[in-house]
Each structure stands twice: as structure tokens, then as C-alpha cells.
Amino acid sequence: MPTILADSFTASLAKLANDEQKQAQLTAFTLMTEPDRPGLQFHRIDKSKDPNFWSVRVSRDIRIIVHKTGSSLMLAYVNHHDDAYAWAERRRIETHPATGAIQIVEVRERVEEIPSPSAPALTEMTFEAPPPVAASMIFERLGADQILSIGVPEDWIADVRKATEESFFALAGHLPQEAAEALLEYATTGILPPPAPPVANPLAHPDTMRRLRVLEGVEELQAALDAPFEKWAVFLHPLQRQVVERDYSGPVRVAGSAGTGKTVVALHRVMRILRSDAEARVLLTTFSDPLAESLERKLAILAGGRQDIADRVTVASFRRIAEELYALTTGRKAHVADRETVRKLVEMAAADAGVTDFSPRFLLSEWENVVDAWHIESADAYADVPRMGRKNRLGQKQRETLWQVFSRVREGLRQRAQFTPAALFQHVTATYGGRKEKPFSHIVVDEAQDLGVAELRFLAAIAPAAPEALFFAGDIGQRIFQQPFSWLGLGIDVRGRSFTLKVNYRTSQQIRQMADRLVPRMIRDVDGLEDDRRDTVSVFDGIEPEVVIADDEVAEREAGAAFIRSALDNGIAPREIAIFVRSPEQLPRARAVAEAAGLSFRTATTRRQDEESALVGIMHLAKGLEFRAVAIVACDEGVLPLAARVADVADEFELDEVIATERQLLYVAATRARDRLFVSSVKPGSEFLEDLIRISD
């Protein structure tokens, strides 16, 4: 008898206490391996409209709800006795008459009322309320057959036709996900999306596969339940599945705003490669070691404990894999200079060369963004480099003067036997560029927006000349480390193979709308490829974020503590809460908020999430993480954007880039929040807060 895992089971399991989760897992394993075991206590849910719902005893108070037919057993839900029974009594599982997808449907007659959306949270900023507008029914022009065609259950069609903008999100929470998404797309664009093509097997329907997974063995069940992360990491959206499973004729780029599942797509792409090619050797890489560790843990879940798959994938940061390949090919360890060492070398070189017409800030910037990034090794090469985006024009004599500085910096690094990170990448690039044999058959890159020139050249050099060797996932709007440059100029052409994901699963509509004010709705890269974020939608509603500009740090601390206490009172666990600040200097203010709220916390130097306490850390550590409640504090003037970064710029182009990346850093931190977001400062506050609190058009 096949076992089917529903996303409603994994979501409900994650909400139980640790000991309750372990007990439920043991029972689930027994159900899968010995479904007829005499000790299992099945009880039919008599009040359910679906006769196939049964409860299975886990402990004195915990029950698993299963959907049991002659051919399969579905793990549908788990909770305390009364809540588990109530869930089953309000639902049925059926194949939709129009789409053919298997749905977990709320029984309309068992839903007493559709609640109104939550009231907006109060903030320190107030605005004149707009005049009231008569509510209009946004789907009244759609016929019943049209509404049915997108997956709306028959008993919910009348509610859909009466829905207004104010009531839609409350209604959407009761509908199957594909139906809610299609209606939301129609509400925002006026176009009803076509349904997925029919399939012979309902379990193979794309909309079924987003919520149900047929398990191949007990190891797969154990991996899925031991470390549940975002439930959509296991249950793919049909559009995500299309990107994962397609064959391509060249490098691929997947874009999309925060929360749209780019990392999930990258992980599933790795699994697709490994399962379809027994000889594949895959590198899954990203910009930092902590994020690589997080990817490795998530990949292990998808691999379902299969060691034969795990042995053929390497997960490492850009720099870590470059260091390993350097050691492999030379037998030596690479010694990499830190930025402060390079800064001092630049200043010493300028003094030795008698160059005083250029500021130290400009010299360091020119070294990092032009000479070192593009691996310029001679005065002639420096004379010809285009210096893309640099506002300070340089004549031939100026470049000759500057080269006296940069040649000394190179010599200083050689004497110390040290690489810059860019030079390390270049060394490995030169080693593998001419080799036919490559260390990997496929390379999948997460957070690709933070690739620099040297890193991209490096990845291209260690990848084979095969159409599907390179797969990139990233969001230009989350770029916080690198200046923009042309991928096409380096031979990486993703034109015609660039896709933008537009369904946000992680962040509520209210939080997404506020955070999106920090970044342009249309983002164009250097090569002219557009990331159109205007039609991005969130699939669930929430409460309004809070923005507080306090009179002093005491008032800010009290407001932040009240936000944290409210989250705790509403059942949000400490491990589901994070407090972020811009820099280590502001960490005491974050800790003060946590202490005032009585919140157990840990201060992060790494990004491991296996502890039960809340996370307190800097915004740069927020990438790739998710929390139900996030507080971002100390967003003061001079802190965001960081005054030290602004003071370090060399020209107008760099100033624009600093402001953009600081803005994007706040965007990254804000979009870690799923349900609740709090942003605060002391007066007058960061200039970015003006964008967060303005009323959208």
C-alpha cells in the first residue's frame, strides 16, 4: 500500500512540541512499514463528510489523521485530539471535476463565516484616511464554469462571485492553493490563467504534486519529517516544477523577489540532475559558508537519506571550493589577504609612488572594482579596460600614474605569498580554463546576484562546455555585495533562458507590499534582461507591519519589546523570532529589546537554526533564513545607509551603488518575516523608512 505525504501533515507536525513530534514520527513510520499492525488504533471520523478519514492514536492526546482507501494511505494531519478531529470534520479529499487534481477541500457548510481581514497595526506615523469607496465584487463577471475551471470547489463558487477586495484574502485561505492563486492573478491583471493540462493519473497532476508526495520508502519519510523546512521545498508549485524539469540549450537564470522559491528550485534542479544522470557530479554553491551549510541540510531532506545521491554532490561556498581546487592542483594551501591588509598595501604603494592626487578611497575602490576584479596585470591592459560605470574618467597619463600604485600592490602581495579572493579565483580559472576534464558535470548556483567578475569566470572555467552545465538562481533586488557587470561580456548568455518566479509563499501580502517599496518594480541588469516584479503576489494574508520612529532608545526598546511579547502571546515560539540590526555596533540595542521582552535569544556569528532560542544578529546573516516574526531595530540616520560606507565611496557611481545595496540589505532583512514585521529607529530615522511608511498608490 503506497504512503502519501500531504503538506498539511508536515505543516501541522512542525507546530507540535519536540517530544510530540518524535512520537508522531514513530507512529508515521509504523503506518508506512506495518499498516496492518494490531497495535495501531484506527477510529473512523464519524462526523466527517469524507468516510475515508480515520484517526490513529499517537499518545494519550495526539492523533494522526489519515485518509485511507483500498489502494493508499495518506498522512493528512496531526494535532491534539480535539483539534485533529475538528480538522477532519471540516474537510474532504476529492478529485476536482474540472482540473482532475486531488484536493484537500474545506466543506463550505462547516465554515460558519468568512472572517474580515485583520485591522492594520498602529504605528508612530499617522496619515489622513482616504475617503471610503463602495466595495465592488471583483469576480462577478466570471461565470461558474470559468471559476470551476481553475480549481475552485463547487460549493465555494457562490462565495467567490460575491468576494470583494476587502474579503478576498479571508476567502482565499479556505480555497485550494491553485484556485486562490488564479483568482489573485485575475484580480491583479484581469486575465484568468489557463488551467494545467489534464493527466491520466490524478497523483501526477501538477496541482496534486504541490501538496501531496508519494513516498518511495521509509528513508524518504524520515528525511522529510526529521527536519521540515519550508513546506514548499518538498511540494513544488507547477511553475517551479516546469523550470526544474525542462531541458535547456545553454546557461539558465531563475530570478524572482524574496520568498518566491528560487533556492527551492535550485535544490530540486540538483536532485533532478542526480536522478536522471547516474554519472553526474554536481556542485551546489553560494556566496558564504553558513548558507552552503544550510543548503546541504535542505538537500539532505530532498535526497531522502539516499547516500548514493549525496555522494555525487558537493556543497560549498564560492571561495571554499576555489581553495579546495587550488590545494588539489598545487598541493599547497592558499593564503588569502583580508581587506584591511589590502587597504594598507594600497596606502603604502601610493606613498612610495608619490601619488597624492587621488584619495585613498578612490585608489582602494579602483583596485577592488577594476584592477583586481578584472585581473589587470599590466599598464597596457589597464589603459584599455573600459571601467564600466565609473563616473571618474581617466586619461592616459592618469592611468600611467595609477598603475605605479597598483603594480606595487601586486608586488607586495607576491612578496607576502598572498592572494586576494579575486586573484585566487583567477588562479584556479587559469588552471582549469584549458583543461578538457572538469571537476564537475553540472554547477548550480544559489544567490547568484552576489557573484563577482572573478567568481563568474571561475565557475565558467570549472564547468564543462555542455548546454545544461550552469544553472543560476538569484534576485537582483537582493544584491548586497557586488557591483553590477555584464555576464554576456564574460560569455555567460542566459537570454531566452531567464525566468522570473512571481508567487510568494513565505511572506504575507502586507509585508511583501511594504518591503517591495524599497526596490524598483522593474529591475534591468547590465545586459538588458528585465526582472519584472510588478505581478508578484503573496498567497496568504497577514497583519500590517509596524514602523516606529521613537523619541529615544528607551521608547524604541519598549515598542520592540511589546511587539515581541505580542508574538509570544500569539503562540510564536522563540526560535521563530529574529531581531536584526545593520552592524555589530547596534547589537546591544537588539539584545536590550530581547531582554525587555523576556525573550531567550542567542547572538549569531553563524546562521545555524537548530537552537530553540530567538536569533539576534546583523542583517547580512539574514539571507536564506525565515522567521514568523522579525524585528529590525536601530534603523537610525547614519546607520542605514551606513555612514562609514558612504564616506568610503570614490565617485557618484559608487555612491549610487552603496545607497542601492544598503536599501536592498533592509529589503533582505524585512522579507525574512513570514507573519509579523517590526521596524524601528530613533528620530529622525533612516531615510529608507520614509519609503516603508508611505501609502502606496
Asked if the bond preceding 202 is cis, omega within 30° of 0, the reply is no
Query: What gap in Å lies between CA 689 and CA 677, rounded to an integer?
Result: 13
Which among 439, 484, 141, 135 has a CA at the least distance from the CA of 316? 439
Alpha carbons 207 and 227: distance in angstroms, whole number = 24
* Helices of type H across 506-599: 509-516, 553-569, 587-597
Residues 323 and 434 grouped into a single domain: yes
Specify the 3-state DSSP secondary structure of 652.
Answer: helix
CA distance 71 to 321: 47
Separation CA 7–CA 521 (nearest Å): 32
Q: Are residues 376 and 451 in the same domain?
A: no
pLDDT of residue 317: 95
Cα–Cα distances in angstroms (integers) from residue 68 to residues 76, 235, 290, in the given order = 10, 21, 42
Pair (303, 174) in one structural domain: no
Question: Hey, what's the cell of 2?
Answer: 503506497
Quick check: is 347 in a domain? yes
Q: What is the identity of the amino acid at 257? A: S
Q: Is 274 helix (H, G, I), strand (E, B) or coil?
A: helix
Are 290 and 248 contained in the same domain? yes
Question: Do 673 and 566 sit in the same domain of this protein?
Answer: yes
- In the listed set 373, 398, 418, which residue is the last one of a domain according to the structure? 418
Residues forming beta bridges with residue 256, ordered by sequence position: 501
Cell numbers of 493, please?
548568455
| DSSP for 308-343, written as a single string | HHHTTEEEEEHHHHHHHHHHHHHSSPPPB--HHHHH
Q: Residue 366: its pLDDT value, please? A: 87
The CA dihedral of 427, 433, 434, 438, to the nearest 10 degrees, is 110
pLDDT score of 515: 87
Taking the C-alpha atoms of residue 27 and residue 164, their distance in angstroms, rounded to an integer, is 44
In a domain, 277, yes or no: yes
Q: Which residues face 523 on adjacent strands?
A: 531
Kindly list the distances between the CA atom of residue 157 and the CA atoms of 135, 191, 406, in Å, as whole numbers in the listed order: 19, 18, 70
Q: Are residues 151 and 22 in the same domain?
A: no
d(CA 31, CA 243): 34
Position 606 scores a pLDDT of: 45
Residues 120 and 85 in one domain: no
Domain presence at residue 550: yes
Residue 531 in domain: no
pLDDT at 694: 62
Answer whether residue 534 is part of any domain: no
* Alpha helices, DSSP H, located in 150-234: 157-162, 168-172, 177-189, 206-209, 218-226
Is residue 81 located within the same domain as residue 34? yes
Q: How many CA atoms lie less than 13 Å away from 483 in the CB half-sphere?
A: 18
Instruction: Output the CA angle 98-100-103, nearest 5 degrees.
Output: 100
| Element at 302 (helix H, strand E) | helix 289-303
Tell whether 222 is covered by a domain: no
Extended beta strands in 82-184, E state: 91-95, 102-106
In a domain, 624, yes or no: yes
CATH code, 259: 3.40.50.300
Q: Specify whether 438 is located in the same domain as 297.
A: yes
Q: How far apart are CA 154 and CA 156, in angstroms?
A: 5
Asked if 432 and 303 sit in the same domain, the reply is yes
Does any domain span residue 536?
A: no
Query: What's the pLDDT at 126?
Result: 38
Q: What is the pLDDT of residue 319?
A: 95
Nearest alpha carbon to residue 322 among 376, 283, 369, 370? 283
CA distances from 284 to 323, 441, 446, 466, 469 (A): 15, 11, 8, 17, 12
Grid cell at residue 214: 508519494
Element (H, E) at 502: none
Q: Can you give the residue range of the structural domain that contains 554?
A: 543-693
The residues pairing with 313 across neighbouring beta strands, listed in sequence order, are 282
Rg (CA), the chain: 27
- Mean pLDDT of successive 10-residue stretches along the chain, which has 697 residues: 86 84 86 77 91 94 92 92 96 95 92 53 42 69 94 94 85 89 84 84 90 77 56 68 92 87 92 92 92 86 75 95 96 93 94 90 87 90 69 74 94 94 95 93 93 93 95 77 76 90 81 86 70 70 90 96 95 92 95 96 61 88 86 95 74 72 90 93 92 61
Cell of 13: 507536525
Same domain, 355 and 441: no
* Residue 534: CB atoms within 10 Å: 11
User: What's the grid cell of residue 133?
Assistant: 469607496
CATH code of the domain containing 96: 3.30.2310.20
The residue from 418, 441, 457 where one domain ends is 418
User: Looking at the 3D structure of the chain, how many domains does it have?
Assistant: 5
What's the residue count for the chain? 697
What's the CA gap between 614 and 601, in Å, rounded? 4
Q: Could you tell me if 115 and 96 lie in one domain? A: no
